[in-house]
Amino acid sequence: MKALTRMKIMLTILILGLAVLPVLLSDTPWPVQARDYLFETAKSDTGADNTVSAIYLGYRAMDTLGETLVLLVSITGTMSILINLGRNKVDEESIGFSLEPEKLPRHSLRTNLIEVVASKLGPIVLLFGLYVMLYGHISPGGGFQGGVIVASGIVFLALGTELKTKLTNTIVLSRIESLSFLFLVLASISGVFFESGFFGNPVKSLQNISPNFIILLNIIIGMKVGTSIAVMCIAMMGGSHDH
């Protein structure tokens, strides 16, 4: 029985390998037309130097809206599953992280080391995340990347500090998240009233399109991604009830 299962597993992996290998070893030249087109027109169409930002907030902004919707649905599912579980009785001996002389509650996810490192690092990581978020149109980065860094800063704060800030409260965070989705929808339809269409840049000028709209969308998406990933992490650390 055991050997038969192993044979089946090996056969499955072999078949998948044979199916995937030609995809990886194909030698078709990569088309350059799209790259050349973006190289010439991305700056004048959207105002962003970073062509990746120009794609996901300019040409394909609709896709970004769908992506944030996926994020919203996934966090709704995760939170509903985790909250319905409730907090069961913590086994003090089995899942303590702190050592004996540290005089912390055994079940907390804290040690003196984590507290010292994470609480000092948290604000710096938050600042760096805001930088990546705000300068996404001219440098590597953008809303999603900056949002993830902001989320890790919030998780550092939640891990490191005993004092309860508003920033690590899941209710506040999830309100910010829903509000930023509302702002994203409002920003997406704002172009309609200025004759530039759905997700069009509402500030129209003939010569140089300013990247302000891209910056605005980057901030909104950064808030959305940062708060939703932070909420999921804090909920998985079991912190959704202590506020």
Q: How far is the CB of 186 from another protein (least distance, A)?
A: 21
**Gap between the Cα atoms of 179 and 206, Å rounded:** 33
Say which residue the tokens 């944030």 belong to.
68
Say whether residue 138 binds another protein (CB under 8 A): yes
For residue 150, count other CB atoms closer than 10 A to its CB. 26
Q: Quick one: which of 1, 3, 4, 24 contacts another protein (CB under 8 A)? A: 24
Q: Quick one: which of 38, 90, 117, 185 contacts another protein (CB under 8 A)? A: 38
Closest C-alpha to 129, from 215, 239, 219: 219
Nearer to another protein, 82 or 104 (CB): 82
Say whether residue 70 binds another protein (CB under 8 A): yes
Q: How far is the CB of 13 from another protein (least distance, A)?
A: 5
Q: How far is the CB of 107 from another protein (least distance, A)?
A: 17
Q: How far is the CB of 217 from another protein (least distance, A)?
A: 13
Q: Quick one: which of 125, 173, 214, 229 contacts another protein (CB under 8 A)? A: 229
On whether the CB atoms of residues 221 and 143 are closer than 8 A, the answer is: yes
Interacting positions 189-228 with another protein (CB under 8 A): 225
Angle at 182 between CA 177 and CA 188, to 5 degrees: 125
Q: How far is the CB of 48 from another protein (least distance, A)?
A: 9
Residue 191 DSSP class:
G
Binding window for another protein (CB under 8 A); candidates: 77-85, 164-172, 179-187, 201-209: 77-85
Length of the chain counted residue by residue: 243
On whether the CB atoms of residues 134 and 218 are closer than 8 A, the answer is: yes
On whether the CB atoms of residues 191 and 202 are closer than 8 A, the answer is: yes
